[in-house]
Amino acid sequence: EKVEVRGGFVLVNGEPLGRESYAEYRDPFRREAPTARLSSEEYQSLWASGQLDATLGDTMKDEFGPVTVPEGSFFVMGDNRDRSCDGRFWGPVAERYLKGKAWIIYWPPSRMGRVN
């Protein structure tokens, strides 16, 4: 599958995913990051090898990919996707590293508890 982010919206194989809004969060420090310029080949190579770091990653939160997720691997994105250093930065996760389904929320403390 191909995954990309365009204008902050996630697309899988060119089709947009829904973006549920759980709460309004106003971040007075959020600012537009500069855009990194890499060829698709350079980007895919760095991403698949897990060599994108948070420094380069901050330039790619709203504009990412497209990347092809390797067979037997997963693309993982944080639930706070606007502020998360997630699979966009550290690359694909091999299935053998997946341990199970999330079952607890620990942040923010006001929402701590089991996932329904």
Query: In this predicted model, what pLDDT tens digit does every residue of 68-113 receive, in sequence order?
Result: 999 999 998 877 776 677 888 888 899 999 988 878 877 777 878 8
Q: Which fold has domain 2-114?
A: Umud Fragment, subunit A (2.10.109)
What distance in Å separates the CA atoms of residue 45 and residue 51, rounded to the nearest whole number?
9
Q: Sorting pLDDT into bands at 50, 70 and 90, what band is 16?
A: very high
pLDDT at 13 over 90: yes
Q: Which of 28, 30, 4, 29 is nearest to 17 (CA)?
A: 4
Q: Are 47 and 24 in contact (CB under 8 A)?
A: no
Instruction: Write the DSSP assignment of 53-82 as a string of letters.
Output: -HHHHGGGSSSEEEEEPPTTEE----SSTT
Q: What percent of the chain has pLDDT over 70?
A: 68
What distance in Å separates the CA atoms of residue 5 and residue 111, rounded to the nearest whole number?
28
Query: Domain residue spans in the chain?
Result: 2-114
